[in-house]
Amino acid sequence: MITPEFARRTWIALPILVALLGAPLVANAQSTSNTIDSPRSEALGAVVGSDISDFRNAIAKRRSGTARPSVRQDDTSLTGGTAPSWGGISSAWTSVDTKRLSGTYSGNSTNLIFGADTIVGDSLIVGLIAGYNRSSVDLPSGQRVKADGFSVGPYFSARLSDSLSLDGFIGFGKPDYDIDGGQFSGDKTFGNLTLTGSIPLQRAELSPFISIASVREKLPAFSSVAPVVAYGATEIKSFVATIGTGVNYNPIDKGNLTYLPNAGIEIDYVRNDDGFGNVDSFTTPRLSGGVTIISDTGALNLGANVSRTSEGTTTVGASAAYFWQF
């Protein structure tokens, strides 16, 4: 169990981290503009909230989706009645999320995410997360931004108390881009912290959460081909703050399987700086629902979600994930 002193320090550290992540964007608030001059920055703004949620939700499902609601992480119901072994891999999982954009921005994006971790003590999960993203976004200007690339980094999930958990990850990637025939690679760093509570009800369990994320991406100077347009080198900075709640309904046992219906509602606040003095911000409410099917060896999660940005882009997504317990 995480000690009260550790929990206290975590609560102290969270506001500091929020300030550090948000400071560069707040500093530029006076230069806020509704126009983003970088097509890559526009495309990032269209998908950054949902992409961060893919990683965040995958880790949250690893923590809570493979066990009955309110069951501790050291529960043995998924491991044949034996305690998880320390010093080795306790779980591996894979998740695929695909989404379709329409409206102000249109296109598609797919994330394939992998993870493996070990349990340290009875309250901490540490692991490695890796993802592959492929996307194509059409901008209002008529430009098309294509991207694909891998990212990798560490993640953790810590149970601070019986009703409070803290998840986090940091990722590094070098995605490849094609913008109107101009091809180049970027250097991307992104991270997230999510604090989640647990409120048991008679027929369900609420999981309210607050999440902050930061994305920074350095891009070289490049020129598109058709039409020929030169773009200077820049560093894109995005900040995403999310508040919401999940609902995990009471388990339904049928034979050797257990079904855990779930739903969720959340809202993103996204602030995007293209590095040229232009800042764009918008909000995105998101609804989701799905079911987790637990067997003796792991769990299958199926879900769907829909969101609409205040800028007029609707995103419809579907996801599937499988978690292996060792």
Give the integer Cα–Cα distance in Å for 317 and 108.
Answer: 9
- pLDDT tens-digit map of 234-276: 899 999 999 999 999 999 999 899 999 999 999 999 999 988 8
By three-state DSSP, how is residue 115 classified? strand
pLDDT value, residue 230:
85
Q: Is a pLDDT exceeding 50 seen at residue 28?
A: no
- Residue 102 tokens read as 């329409």
Query: CATH homologous superfamily of domain 39-67+89-325?
Result: Autotransporter beta-domain (2.40.128.130)
pTM: 0.80
- pLDDT tens-digit map of 272-315: 998 888 898 999 999 999 999 998 888 999 999 999 988 899 99
pLDDT value, residue 308:
92
Instruction: Burial-class residue 31 by CB neighbours within 10 Å (0-12, 13-18, 19+).
Output: exposed
Average pLDDT over residues 157-178: 93
Q: Is a pLDDT exceeding 90 seen at residue 5?
A: no
Higher pLDDT, 141 or 266: 266
Q: Which of 303, 304, 294 is nearest to 324 (CA)?
A: 294
- In the chain, DSSP assigns E strands to 91-103, 106-120, 124-138, 144-161, 164-173, 176-179, 182-185, 187-197, 199-200, 204-219, 222-223, 230-231, 234-249, 252-254, 257-273, 279-294, 298-308, 313-325
pLDDT value, residue 8:
43
pLDDT value, residue 170:
96
By three-state DSSP, how is residue 280 classified? strand
pLDDT value, residue 322:
94
pLDDT value, residue 3:
52
Higher pLDDT, 232 or 100: 100
- pLDDT tens-digit map of 84-127: 333 457 789 999 999 999 999 999 999 999 999 998 888 899 99
Q: Is a pLDDT exceeding 90 seen at residue 136?
A: yes
pLDDT value, residue 26:
37
pLDDT value, residue 24:
40
pLDDT value, residue 187:
94
Top mean-pLDDT range of 3-17, 21-35, 132-146:
132-146
pLDDT value, residue 16:
41
Q: Is a pLDDT exceeding 80 seen at residue 77?
A: no
Strand 230-231 versus strand 222-223 pairing type? antiparallel
**10 neighbors 167 (Cβ within 8 angstroms):** no
Domain boundaries, the chain: 39-67+89-325
- pLDDT tens-digit map of 173-217: 999 999 888 889 999 999 999 999 999 999 999 999 999 999 999
